[in-house]
Amino acid sequence: MKIRCGGVPEHFNYPWHVAIEQGYFAAEGIELEWLDYKGGTGAMCQDLRADIIDIATLLTEGAIADIAKGNPAIIDRVYVASPLIWGIHTGAASHHTNPDKPGPIKYAVSRMGSGSHLMALVDRMQRSLDLTDASWELIQNLDGARVSLQKNESDYFLWEKNMTAPYVYNGELRRIGECPTPWPSVVITISTAALNRIKNVEGMYRALQKAVAFIQQLPDPAQTIAAVYDIKIEDARDWYARIQWGNKESLSKNDFDYTATALVEAGILDTKPSYESVCK
């Protein structure tokens, strides 16, 4: 059975690669094809709709928003139960130093409706800043954001802080704040067409659980992750100390309600969808 999966090339997706390398998917009779998406949640949602991938590890808020807007998919399980820590970044030569300061801000975003877009709005809400002061510069991915920020074509860019750390250390970007997601950060989302075809994904989850156990039993998991993703060991240790992989539980109704309500308040959704229409 072939399953086409996609995710961003970041450390929380490491178990998928371990499961491929260690033959855990193959042992379950699964031929798993993995695609990296530098463009983030928006790019994966687009390819779920286009039947290019069957399954994606999506940011929770992005998955809810896109399914509510008609993506024929379902949130099957929580993948990362811990919050994602988004760094608020600006260019090295930018005059910005305080993300609490009111006023117009142009955000670099990979796509409208992507995690970088949604979390910019969530951050403004949490800081009691006017949402109408936000404007947007489409930059496709992290590489595009680096160029945009350095040229002062945009003011802020929100992205997972450990993945942007190399560009902070080399002086290219500055991190002036953080915004943790107030909900489980990543969910496994499956297109309804794939769910009808595959029917049973329990073997996939068993393989992922074996991969997580394999990582946890490494002599120094953070050291391995730092080497694989080319990040500093201190950043890898900081991240590994916080990560809580899931893939056993559904997204709870409370977490769904909190996230969906924030999406409506941010103006991403007009109305709050029902839990049953989004989550399995």
The string of pLDDT tens digits covering residues 43-93 is 999 999 999 999 999 999 999 999 999 999 999 999 999 998 999 999 999
Q: Counting Cβ atoms within 10 Å, is residue 73 exposed (0-12), middle (13-18) or buried (19+)? A: buried
Residue 144: which residues within 8 A CB-CB, separation 6 or more?
Answer: 108, 110
> Does the pLDDT at position 95 exceed 90?
yes
Phi, psi (5° rounding) for residue 85?
-95, 110
CA-closest candidate to residue 115, choices 15, 14, 263, 16: 263
The string of pLDDT tens digits covering residues 6-23 is 999 999 999 999 999 999
Q: How far is CA 48 from the centre of its chain?
A: 15
**Structure-token match 């178990």, residue found:** 15
Q: Counting Cβ atoms within 10 Å, is residue 107 exposed (0-12), middle (13-18) or buried (19+)? A: buried
Give the predicted TM-score (pTM) of the model.
0.82
Give the span between the Cα atoms of 203 and 28, in whole angstroms: 5
Q: Residue 133 gets which letter from DSSP?
A: G
The domains found in the chain, sorted by start residue, are 2-83+184-278 (3.40.190.10), 85-180 (3.40.190.10)
> Does the pLDDT at position 25 exceed 80?
yes
Contact indicator for 62, 227 with CB cutoff of 8 Å = no
Contact indicator for 123, 158 with CB cutoff of 8 Å = yes
